[in-house]
Structure formats: structure tokens, C-alpha cells
Amino acid sequence: MVVDDDAEIRSLVAEYLTLHGYHASVARDGAEMRSALKADRPDLVVLDLLLPGEDGLSLCRDLRANSNIPVIMLTARREEIDRIIGIEMGADDYLGKPFNPRELLARIKSVLRRARGLPASRGDAKRLRFAGWTLDCTARHLIDAQGVIVPLGGAQYRLLAVFLNHPNHVLERDKLVNLTLGRDAIPFDRSIDVQVSRLRQLLRDSGREPRIVKTVRNGGYVLAAAVERLDG
């Protein structure tokens, strides 16, 4: 689904995606997007940041609260803060305007490939237990020690899955970007730090000295916990 208030962009992107074998629906604002979502569930949403009325960040946050549909943000702004805020709201990737349709298509393929093909866990485990938490790899949510379910956005699930597949290994920021976003890191792009911060909050691990996801100075991050596979 392409959500953009610019009729020409909506038409061009939809036609380009259709030409490459995708079924593309369009919406010009949040109201049309919500109406369309009631009738059909897209595999991915291309969402413009600057929309009339409710903006793209608010819509992305709402999508994240109610679904795991991948989101690629489009923005005419190129400041790093806008990319970071987009990631904070749960966007899976972002692309600045003006953009080459081929690059958008490449990013769509990459995001969909990750959403559909990311290994659910180490091997074929259905659940992974660590530090008092359990990741349900089928439902893609967390369960705390009291059995309370904690929903995960798509980006949060992918990041946690990467850590759980590499426990006690230092993962550099560039490698985390590549494993979670499927592309090389942009110089000085600290969006992965934002994702780690959000993950720590979900894990109640955001104190001055996190005990689960630790920062390695000049190195990156490490999941400092044993991971147990649960197949049942």
C-alpha cells in the first residue's frame, strides 16, 4: 500500500510496482489508509512522512500498536533526527525524496525478504528463553517471567532475533544494521542505537548499566545472557 498525498507519486509508484509483479493499492491520507486496511491487509506500507492531517509518524506508531505490517517511510527531510524518529515510531526502513523507483523497489524486496524469511530462531526452536524472558518465535512476541505478553514491532523482533542468534558475541553497529535492515550503514547513522534503546525498554533493561543488552565501548552491543531453545 502506497500512502502519499501527492497524486503523481502515488500513481507512479503504484504503476512501477505493478509493472514488477506487485499488487499495489493507494491512499492519500490516514483516513483512506485505515479504511483500506479494514478491507485488506497489505504485506507492506510505503508511508509518506508529511501528510495532511495526521502525519506519517503518528500513522506509523498506530500501525505498530496494532500490527506487524512492515513500513518504509518516505520523507523530503534529510536530517538524521527524522530518520531516528521514524525508527522510534517503528518504521522498518526509510527513503528520502526525491528517490529512484528502483531503489524503493530494492528496499521493498529487502524488507519483505526479512519479514518473510528471517530465521525464527536458532535452528527450528519455537521459543527462546533468556534472562527471565521467552521469545515466542511463531507469534513473534515476548513473554515475561509472570506470563505477561509484550508485543513486538517488526524491527524490534528482528533485532532481538539477531541478538538471540548471536548470544555473548559482540555485534558492531554496522553489522546490526546489515542484519536487521539488509543494507550497509550510512556514515554517522545512529538509528540502530535508537532501536537498541527501545528494545532495552521493552526488556526493562534501560538502567544506567543494562544487564541483558550491554554496550561495548568502540565495539557495539552484546547480548550478555544464556539462550535456551524450547521446541515445544
d(C-alpha 10, C-alpha 21), whole Å: 17
pLDDT of residue 104: 94
pLDDT of residue 27: 95
Strand-pairing partners, residue 45, are 71
Same domain, 113 and 6: yes
Q: Helix (H, G, I), strand (E, B), or coil: what is residue 56? A: helix
Q: Is residue 84 part of a domain?
A: yes
pLDDT of residue 204: 92
Question: Residue-wise over 175-190: b if at least 16 C-beta within 10 A, else e?
Answer: bbbebbbbeebeeebe
Q: Is residue 122 part of a domain?
A: no
Q: Which amino acid is at 60?
A: C
pLDDT of residue 122: 42
pLDDT of residue 86: 65
Q: Domain of 222? A: 127-230
pLDDT of residue 121: 39
pLDDT of residue 126: 80
CATH number, residue 22: 3.40.50.2300
- pLDDT tens, position by position, 195-211: 899 899 999 998 888 99
Q: Which amino acid is at 10?
A: R
Same domain, 195 and 221: yes
Triad 213, 94, 25: Cα angle to 5°: 125
Of the residues 85, 117, 149, the one at which a domain ends: 117
Walking along the chain (232 residues) 10 residues at a time, the average pLDDT comes out as: 94 93 93 90 91 89 80 76 65 86 91 64 69 88 91 84 89 81 54 87 89 89 91 62
**Domains in the chain: how many in total?**
2
Asked if 68 contacts 153 with a C-beta cutoff of 8 angstroms, the reply is yes
Q: Residue 199: enclosing H or E segment and its boundaries?
A: helix 191-202
Rg (CA), the chain: 18
Same domain, 154 and 179: yes
Same domain, 7 and 101: yes
* pTM for the full predicted model: 0.57
Q: What is the largest CA-CA distance in the chain?
A: 52
- pLDDT tens, position by position, 170-181: 888 888 877 776
